[in-house]
Structures are given as C-alpha cells and as structure tokens.
Chains A and B, each alone.
Chain A
Amino acid sequence: MLSGLANPRQAAVQLMNFGLILSTAFMMWKGLSVITDSPSPIVVVLSGSMEPAFQRGDLLFLWNRNVVAETSVGEVVVYNVKGKDIPIVHRIVRKFGKGPEAKLLTKGDNNVSDDTELYASGQDYLVRKDIIGSVFAYIPFVGYVTILLSEHPWLKTVMLGLMGLVVVLQRE
C-alpha cells in the first residue's frame, strides 16, 4: 500500500487528489454563495420556532436576490442578529415603507411574540441588508447531521481523517 509513496511524484499526485476534493467542495459552496448572493445559501433549522412549517434539522435553500419583487410580508427569511453568529429562520409579519430602507418585523410561527426581543439592543426592526436570504425550497431532516457535527465537534475530525485515509489507500 505504501509502495505508491516511494516515488515522490506519486505521493504528490495522491496529495493533490485529496486537496482537490476539499477545494472542489469549498469552491462549489462559494459558487452557490455567489449565485444566490447569500453568505450562507444552505442553512439548517436549529429550533422549533417555525413549526409546523419547518422542524429542527430541516435543510433550507436560500435565495437572496430581489429580481422580480421586493422581499414582502409572508416570506420566510433567514437573518443574523447583529453581533451574533446564529442564523434565525422566521417569517416577515410586518413591513413599513418600501425599498432597501423599509423596516421589517419578523416572528416565528410557533412563537407567542414577535422578534423584537431577539434584535440587538436599541434595534426595533430589521432592514433588507440584515437578511441573508429567503427560503425557496427545503429538504426535511437531512440537516440533522450538521446539528450533530456542531454539538460534537470531534466528529468533524473523525470524518476528515476517514476521507483522507480512503483517498490515500485507493490509487485511482
């Protein structure tokens, strides 16, 4: 198995193959990001605040371009609270004004009150810039893997290690 590594060029090719797997995956993600104009075009639902529409672990696909119409009331959007890294998936329930400066209010379908308390202190409404995309499609339950990976970070190292091992042992 290791005889393939006797030749430095062969070793370089093996290394390159592994590196290309990682970089292709990354570039595909970035490509999707650029097409949808969203920093995070695929998100996983982390809480049950949008039940029964979306459950914890659902995979959501986002689109962040307003080609045909502006973001409007009733759309399910994803936004990051200023300063926090956790994406929140809620529905727009109020819109005041028009254009990019319009004030938007969101609320989770399964929540009692709207998101005013979730916003940063001093912030009462969202604007279009805060939103990183509107949900246009979803796959149920598939995203639970990501939740597992984030709650048990050692799983990530295990997965990468396995991938690397498989590529080095197989010579294509």
Chain B
Amino acid sequence: MASTEKITVYNVADLRATTDDALLNYLTSLGLIQSHTLLDTRLALGFSAFLLSAACFAWDYKLGFEATKQYTLVAVILYTLLNGALTYWIMFVEKGTIYVGKTKDGKTSLRVASDSKKPRSKGEAPVYKLTITVEDVKTKKTEKIDIERKFSEWFDASGRFVAAPFQTVLAQGVPLVGKLDPKRAVAAAPATGGQGLTKEQVAATPGYTQEILDAIASGLGENSSSAATGSSANQSGGKKRRT
C-alpha cells in the first residue's frame, strides 16, 4: 500500500498534490461517482480563450495588423473577459475544490476542498486542511466537516506516502466515508499529538501489512529500539532502507 515514489518533504505543494491525488483515488475506489462539471467548465473557459488567441494570431499573421485592427480589438476585449471569468471561476466558484461526487444510489453528494497551511510553529509539519460538504440530495440538508491534520501523519520521513493512515483519517472524520469503508473506520485513530505515528501504535493496529510497517519503520529509524509485535525482520528492513 505504501507508494514507492518519494517526494520532497519540504515542498508543501508536492505534499498537497500527492495527498489530493490519493484522496481522489480513495474515494473512487469506495464506489463514489465523481462529477467532472467543475473541472470541465474550467477547461472550457481556458481552451476557448486559448483558441481565440490562436485565431487572432492567425489573422494577424496572414493579413497584417492594419487590415485586422478592428477584429484584434474585439478579440483582445473578449479574451480579457474570458480570462477574467476563468480567474473568477477558479477563485470564487472552485475555491480549492478537488472532488465533487455522489454515492452510487445518488442519495448523497459530497464536495471536498483542500488547502495547506504552514506549520503552526517552526519544526512542525505543515498542515493539510480539508473542508468537506456532505449534502442529502432530497432534503438539501448540508453538513460541513473540517479536518486539519499534519502531513506527517501519512508521509514518512523519507517522503513516501502511506495510504492506510490517511484513509483512516477520512473514514473516521467523514461519516459517509466511514460507512463505505467500515474497515478503516474502526482502525485505531492516528496520533494527533504531533509526533506522527509511533511504531507500537501502528503495529498494534489490525489491517496493516508487513509492507506498511516496514515503510513506517524506515521513517522512524531511531525509535525502533523497543521491540514491537513485529519481528526482527522489521528492524533490518528499516535499516536497509535508510542507506
């Protein structure tokens, strides 16, 4: 389950992008159907602006500036409007939304917006902020859930993403997800104290394979002195990965 791709732990944009991707994969794997309307509108606006400028380039190149001045003026104004609309769309309508979807039966819809924050104090991990809006399609009642967790809860020190703790955060934070993924909903909650995952905590949790434990152990390095329920193979695996 641990991804083999490593990313720079100091690049907050990368952390967030990887986490966003994982969230999308997770929600899709649970059977939620994603709606692409938001992204499609953005693409439509952007591409039509681009096509307009391509057309302007074409007539200016072929017929020269003087002959096409009026058309170019119209094109510039239209382009400014389209670009303005695109910016407005991204800033005020999308507002950081990374997922819009609904359950298979169409009864509940879900909207997830993500953001990242610099660490509260120096030396701490940056924070991943999720704003989830769950709406009952029939009654139109909405429920807003805010989740703020440190990236270190699902990234080990070397930059590998570990899916299980992240999925647990979601399953336990959002009742809808918990319903669709009962396995994660009952797994021990990850530490919110700020130290990230401790080896004992992780090893004692059901549902973790040896692979995950190895990945986390390699990130914890120094703390692997006390023997957890894992075998010694765990420790040697950790040392191997550190070199």
The answer to whether A20 and B46 have CB atoms under 8 Å apart is yes
Choose among A3, A20, A172 the residue that contacts B49 (Cβ–Cβ < 8 A): A20
The answer to whether A34 and B73 have CB atoms under 8 Å apart is yes
Q: A4-B17, A31-B76, A33-B72 are in contact. Are A39 and B65 (CB under 8 A)?
A: yes
**Shortest CB distance B22–A (Å):** 10
Is B42 close to A, CB under 8 A?
A: yes
**Shortest CB distance B168–A (Å):** 22
Residues of A within 8 A of B (CB): 3-4, 7, 9, 12-13, 16-17, 19-20, 23-24, 26-27, 30-31, 33-34, 37, 39, 170-172
**Shortest CB distance B78–A (Å):** 10
Q: How far is the CA of A37 from the CA of B76 in the complex (A)?
A: 13
Identity of the chain B residue whose Cβ is nearest the Cβ of A19 in the assembled complex: B50
The answer to whether A27 and B39 have CB atoms under 8 Å apart is no
Q: A9-B39, A9-B43 are in contact. Are A27 and B66 (CB under 8 A)?
A: no
Identity of the chain B residue whose Cβ is nearest the Cβ of A17 in the assembled complex: B46
Residues of chain B lying within 8 A (CB to CB) of residue A3: 5, 18, 21
The answer to whether A16 and B47 have CB atoms under 8 Å apart is yes
The answer to whether A23 and B76 have CB atoms under 8 Å apart is no
The answer to whether A171 and B13 have CB atoms under 8 Å apart is yes
Q: A13-B42, A23-B54, A39-B66 are in contact. Are A30 and B17 (CB under 8 A)?
A: no
The answer to whether A4 and B21 have CB atoms under 8 Å apart is yes
Residues of chain A lying within 8 A (CB to CB) of residue B21: 3-4
**Shortest CB distance A107–B (Å):** 26
The answer to whether B43 and A13 have CB atoms under 8 Å apart is yes
Since A13-B46, A23-B79, A30-B76 are in contact, a sample of 10 more A-B pairs with Cβ atoms closer than 8 Å, ordered by chain A residue number, is A9-B36, A13-B43, A19-B46, A20-B46, A20-B50, A27-B53, A27-B75, A27-B80, A170-B13, A171-B14
Is B88 close to A, CB under 8 A?
A: no
Is B57 close to A, CB under 8 A?
A: yes
Residues of chain B lying within 8 A (CB to CB) of residue A37: 69
Q: Which of B70-103 contact A (CB under 8 A)?
A: 72-73, 75-76, 79-80, 83
The answer to whether A24 and B83 have CB atoms under 8 Å apart is yes
The answer to whether B75 and A30 have CB atoms under 8 Å apart is yes
Choose among A7, A12, A39 the residue that contacts B43 (Cβ–Cβ < 8 A): A12
**Shortest CB distance B73–A (Å):** 5
**Shortest CB distance B17–A (Å):** 5
The answer to whether A27 and B56 have CB atoms under 8 Å apart is yes
* Centre residue among B40, B53, B64, B75 by max chain A CB count within 10 A: B53
Residues of chain A lying within 8 A (CB to CB) of residue B49: 20, 23
**Shortest CB distance A163–B (Å):** 16
Residues of chain A lying within 8 A (CB to CB) of residue B79: 23, 27
The answer to whether A34 and B60 have CB atoms under 8 Å apart is no
The answer to whether A13 and B17 have CB atoms under 8 Å apart is no
Q: A4-B21, A171-B17 are in contact. Are A34 and B53 (CB under 8 A)?
A: no
- Between A and B, 10 residue pairs with Cβ closer than 8 Å are A9-B39, A13-B39, A16-B43, A20-B46, A23-B52, A23-B53, A24-B53, A26-B57, A30-B72, A39-B65
The answer to whether A34 and B43 have CB atoms under 8 Å apart is no
The answer to whether B60 and A30 have CB atoms under 8 Å apart is yes
Residues of chain A lying within 8 A (CB to CB) of residue B53: 23-24, 26-27
Residues of chain B lying within 8 A (CB to CB) of residue A17: 46
Residues of chain A lying within 8 A (CB to CB) of residue B18: 3
Residues of chain B lying within 8 A (CB to CB) of residue A170: 13
Choose among B14, B46, B47, B76 the residue that contacts A34 (Cβ–Cβ < 8 A): B76
**Shortest CB distance B50–A (Å):** 5
Q: How far is the CA of A37 from the CA of B24 in the complex (A)?
A: 50
Q: Which of B18-45 contact A (CB under 8 A)?
A: 18, 21, 24, 36, 39-40, 42-43
